[in-house]
Amino acid sequence: MKKKVILYRDIPAQERQRLDNQFDITFFNGINEENKDAFIAALADAEGLIGTSTNMSSELLSLAPKLKAASTISVGTDLYDLNYLTERSIPLMHTPGVLNETTADTLFTLIMCTARRAVELSTMVREGRWTSNVGEALYGTDVHGKTLGIIGMGRIGYAIAKRGHFGFDMKIQYSNRSRNLDAEKELNATYMDIESLLKTSDFICVMTPLTPQTERLIGAKEFAMMKESAIFINGSRGKVIDEAALVDALSNGAIRAAGLDVFEVEPLPASSPLCKLDNAVLFPHIGSATTETRLKMVTCAVDNLINALNGDISQNCANKKQLNR
């Protein structure tokens, strides 16, 4: 008898077929008020879960007593209660690696757009306000040769640093839980404490995972440490920064600009003060959103679930270390 699995996001037909070949699939195209009761009912017999963009709290997961594995179509695991899954010896599979380069492209796009005021000036042209040569008041700032500070030198942070070093001759400095010797050797990166990085970087890019330790890691105190000419980039999770403090810093000229792909509340409400700031470039969480990479993520997530439900969590298990203790 096939194991029962809940698929709670629409995926390409070829990957859905792979799941159908292996498991008895119950499908939900996202979880909402209309189908939530049916989803909860299906949890009672589910041995596997696969999907994304739904908060899987311990209360919800407790309704799945037969659950043996979960697979999220993302590298981030913050939508799952990882501690709860670990307590129940349930592996959470995720998709690191396949999105590193694409996400780094997105973050460097934010660097370029903020530095050269690309969105602001494009809007000016579209609205018919380009009536004379652009003057000093609308000048941007150079990227090449500047200092790029990265908070969180993991796979994606390294990919961003690589673009800065080789493509733009930038000086790389970073703060991390541990030293990244590859970055130091290959990119001539300098390891330093976060306070020193904030004070000396021209571009500050946050790429840390969201944990209790990193929530609101960057707030009013940290923005005050930055240069007035600094540009702040966040591609990690919205709750890693104090969004209200960022709005104040941008409004008061404490920093030059910010580029954000993540927010405290997503989708970002149109009423957000960020939407009123010309010096904020706002992307709708598109870090990995290319056709090629999103397909790779789905393929990886399907592979992960098949492997996990067959007892193999050797690759891409977010709580592997905890389960092996």
Q: How far apart are CA 135 and CA 139, in angstroms?
A: 7
Q: How far apart are CA 68 and CA 58, in angstroms?
A: 15
**Half-sphere exposure for 149 (CA within 13 Å, toward CB):** 20
Q: How far apart are CA 201 and CA 150, in angstroms?
A: 9
Residue with tokens 């973050």: 107
User: Before 209, cis peptide (omega within 30)?
Assistant: no
* Phi, psi angle pair for 191, to nearest 5°: -85, 130
Catalytic residue list: 237, 266, 285
- Listing DSSP states for 246-275 in one string gives HHHHHHTTSSSEEEES--SSSSPPTTSGGG
3-state secondary structure (DSSP) of residue 127: coil
Q: Are strands 92-93 and 147-151 parallel, antiparallel or unpaired?
A: unpaired
Q: What share of the chain is helix, strand, coil (3-state, %, to 5)?
A: 40, 15, 45
